[in-house]
Structure 1
C-alpha cells in the first residue's frame, strides 16, 4: 500500500492519513479482508507520529471502513470499498457547498428535496 500526504493540504494530519487510506480502499489497493500494515510502519512511511496514524485509523473504524481485531490487527471491512467511495463523494459535496456558502444543514435540506 503506497500512501502519500499532500504538503499543501491544510487539514489536520490525522484526517489526511484517514483520507489517504480511504483513497487506497476506493482505488482497490486495499480490498475488504486485507490487513493493513502496523500503525508504526505507516507512520514511518508518511513521516508522522504513530498516534496521528492511530487517530486516523480510529476515525475510519468509526465510519465502518476498518475493523480492529485483537491479535489480527486492522483489516478492511466488508463493503468498505463502496462505502468509502460514497463517503469521499459526500465530503466533496460538503466542501463544494461550503465553498459556495452553503452549510451542512442547507445541503441536507437540498438532499431531502431530491426525488
Structure 2
C-alpha cells in the first residue's frame, strides 16, 4: 500500500549493513510478486550492501534470479572479496551452508 501511494523509499537501506528492501525480498523463494513490485517502483537491482553484494547474491529461486537479470542485474559484479554471485554461491555450497546455488547455477551456461 505504501508503494502504491508513493510513501515508501524502495532504495532505503539499513545503516548497519546497507541492505535494501529488495535484498530482503529476494531471500524468500515465494516473494517474486514482492520483488516485482519493488522493482516496478524503482528498486535498484544493482544496489549494493556494505559487502558490495547486490540482490542477485541472495536470490532464493531461479525465477527471482532470472527476473533480476531481465531487469538489468549484473551477474559479473564482484563483492568485497572479489566473488561474483555464482562464485559466492559455489563457495557457500562447498561449506555445506544453505545457499542459493540452485537459483544461480544456470549462470554457468551463460555466455
TM bucket normalised to smaller: under 0.3
TM-score by length of 2: 0.27
Task: Identify, as 1 or 2, the structure richer in strand.
Answer: 1
Higher Cα radius of gyration: 1
Task: Identify, as 1 or 2, the structure richer in helix.
Answer: 1
